[in-house]
Structure 1
Amino acid sequence: MRVLCLHGKGTSAKVFESQTSNIRSQLSIGNVQFDFVNGPNETTAAPGVDMFYQPPYYGFWEKATLEAVLKAVDWLKEYIAKKGPYDVVMSFSQGSIVASSLLLLHQKESPDQPPPFKAGIFICGASSLRVLEALGFNITQEALARDEASVDALTKQADVSSIMSQGAERWKGDSFMQGRSEEEVRDEFQGPFKIQIPTVHVYGAKDPRLGASLQLAGLCESKNRRCYSHQGGHEIPRTSNVTAMITDMVEWALEFAE
């Protein structure tokens, strides 16, 4: 079984490999090959990343315009055509936007063809609101503004000064959920279809991008998804209990893909 692994903005394949090492080491399913790939564009480090990991750093775009996201999706299609096929995609943050955009575009353009993956694992994930808008989903200007504000909040909470002065206390959660329940946020975006493959959604209760992760979960068929909220921020905590929970969910996705 082959798993394609897509990292977050301003990190790298090596960073994502390190971030998921505890999870992968505890898998009971054998014969799983994880392919960690660098994004197509070399860039600066994401806030706080250069404290722990050496360059180079990569990303899929600098500004998340519709054109930039579609270009990244085309790059991913070409990569899969050359290096694939893959059974599962596992992604973090910006990598999840690329993966979910590919799956949604496939659902729109080729609904009668097998999807590019049999299962998806999204960690601190999100979707592209511009892609959703182009696909016919109802995306309000308020939602677009809220999404941009949550990205700004993540940048501030994850930077070096916040890490040095506040440590784990720097994560303040998503104030842009504005008192809405998780269920309300998951159901916010209504459109003509959903991602049908089994999906796993892992997100942090204190992540300023929590709302974006919940919205992505809502774009996936409810009967085929599993969700887990840890108590951290925009990260993959390495505590034993969190690792065990995420590992269990990853195994669930891998079993579907076998």
Structure 2
Amino acid sequence: MAEPSNSHLPRILCLHGGGTSAMIFKIQTRRLQWSLRQHFRFVFVDAPFESAAGPGVLPIFEGCGPYYKWVVPESTTPERDQQRVRQVLRKAIADDSGDGEFVGLLGFSQGGRMVAGLLAVQEEGEATGLPYWQFAVLLCASYPPLSMSNERARKEPKGPVDVHGEDPEPEEREIISIPSVHVRGTLDPHCEKGRRLAKYFNRETSVSMEFVMGHHLPGAAGDSTSSKGDTDAIRDAVLRAYAGDLNADRDAGSSANGINFAQNTV
């Protein structure tokens, strides 16, 4: 008996990490997809720029190229690069066979930085031809946000800058209020950068969740530190973000199975 179609469900656009692909990201998120299968349809898209395999991709995904990335370091054509990113996102949206509304973004690592950039553009009111995103999930995302705004790309730092040439703290006008869930691993070497990225999100409309894991999702191949309960906790936070109510996580402080719900004050 054929499974019922999920084409009517609201859709989440999924952005993979640097040096991977839509196909790999689909495999990496299989547990999260399964836990949310009755609520959303997941749509995966390849980034526009070919890349070498990213950290942790080999040897598990040997021969699964080509691999892609969302940004070209030291590019001399950043505005053209922004246009290419938007083009591939629009095409993925247009090509998907589902008819549910696009409501959310989900990004891992570099894809999470891109999600932050897309949300920032929406907050600024810039026309992009993309859907209106109601919420976002940033998985093991790093810092700084990938700018999809010409205004931000031209922004000059006000004072001393960090190693990325960025202001150490975001300005008030840069804070993103779109509901968001930030998932980090305490064993991830990029965990502190993820905490910095969370500063760009309004603490009243976002929640940060930290698990004892590395630069991957709970239940990844070879992971012995996380449990099914971790994926369930992420699922519940995603549903609350979609409903626009993340206060339950913030009030909880920490869960019975050791998950840290960190406020966005770090």
TM surpasses 0.5: yes
1:134–1:207 distance in 2 versus 1, CA, 3 Å: farther
Shift of 1:129: 5.9
Residues 108 and 135, structure 1, Cα contact 8 Å, conserved in 2 = no
Does 2:28 correspond to 1:47?
Answer: no
Find the partner of 1:199 among 175, 180, 187.
Answer: 180
Q: Secondary structure at the match of 2:123?
A: helix
Q: Read off the aligned partner of 1:110 and give its amino acid letter.
A: E
The CA RMSD over aligned residues, in Å, is: 3.1
Shift of 1:255: 3.2
In 2, Cα distance between the equivalents of 1:128 and 1:74?
20
In 1, Cα distance between the equivalents of 2:122 and 2:74?
20
Q: Secondary structure at the match of 1:141?
A: coil
Partner of residue 10, structure 1: 19
Shift of 1:120: 0.8
1:143–1:211 distance in 2 versus 1, CA, 3 Å: farther
Partner of residue 30, structure 2: 21
1:143–1:127 distance in 2 versus 1, CA, 3 Å: same
Q: Read off the aligned partner of 2:162 and give its amino acid letter.
A: E
Q: Secondary structure at the match of 1:49?
A: coil
Residues 103 and 115, structure 1, Cα contact 8 Å, conserved in 2 = no
Identity across matched positions, percent: 26
Partner of residue 103, structure 2: 87
Worse overlay, 36-45 or 75-84: 75-84
Q: Read off the aligned partner of 1:124 and give its amino acid letter.
A: C
Q: Read off the aligned partner of 1:190 and give its amino acid letter.
A: E
Q: Secondary structure at the match of 2:42?
A: strand
Does 2:243 correspond to 1:255?
Answer: yes
Partner of residue 214, structure 2: 233
Worse overlay, 123-132 or 31-40: 123-132
Q: How does 1:99-138 map to 2 (within 5 A)?
A: 99-110=115-126, 116-128=132-144, 131=147, 134-135=154-155, 138=158
Residues 70 and 85, structure 2, Cα contact 8 Å, conserved in 1 = no
1:192–1:25 distance in 2 versus 1, CA, 3 Å: same
1:72–1:90 distance in 2 versus 1, CA, 3 Å: farther
1:250–1:73 distance in 2 versus 1, CA, 3 Å: farther
Residues 73 and 102, structure 1, Cα contact 8 Å, conserved in 2 = no
Q: Secondary structure at the match of 1:120?
A: strand
**Which blocks of at least 5 consecutive residues in structure 2 are unaligned?**
1-9, 95-100, 220-226, 246-266
In 1, Cα distance between the equivalents of 2:83 and 2:53?
24
Higher RCO structure (Cα 8 Å, ≥6 apart): 1
Residues 88 and 118, structure 1, Cα contact 8 Å, conserved in 2 = yes
Q: Secondary structure at the match of 2:137?
A: strand
Q: Read off the aligned partner of 2:19 and give its amino acid letter.
A: G
Q: Read off the aligned partner of 2:233 and give its amino acid letter.
A: M
Cα shift readout 1:61-114 (whole Å, capped 9, x = no counterpart): 34265854x544433433444425621000001111222112213333539x99
Q: Secondary structure at the match of 2:14?
A: strand
In 2, Cα distance between the equivalents of 1:115 and 1:136?
29
Cα shift readout 1:205-253 (whole Å, capped 9, x = no counterpart): 1222112211221111111001100111211121313212222222222
Relative to its length, the structure with more helix (as a share) is 1
Residues 125 and 203, structure 1, Cα contact 8 Å, conserved in 2 = yes
Find the partner of 1:56 among 61, 66, 91.
Answer: 66
TM-score by length of 2: 0.69
Worse overlay, 56-65 or 89-98: 56-65
In 1, Cα distance between the equivalents of 2:50 and 2:197?
26
Q: Secondary structure at the match of 1:142?
A: coil
In 2, Cα distance between the equivalents of 1:5 and 1:139?
35
Q: How many matched pairs? A: 214
Partner of residue 141, structure 1: 161
Find the partner of 1:215 among 172, 196, 201.
Answer: 196
Q: Secondary structure at the match of 2:210?
A: strand
1:224–1:114 distance in 2 versus 1, CA, 3 Å: farther
Q: Read off the aligned partner of 1:93 and give its amino acid letter.
A: S
Q: Secondary structure at the match of 2:112?
A: helix
**Which blocks of at least 5 consecutive residues in structure 1 are unaligned?**
148-186
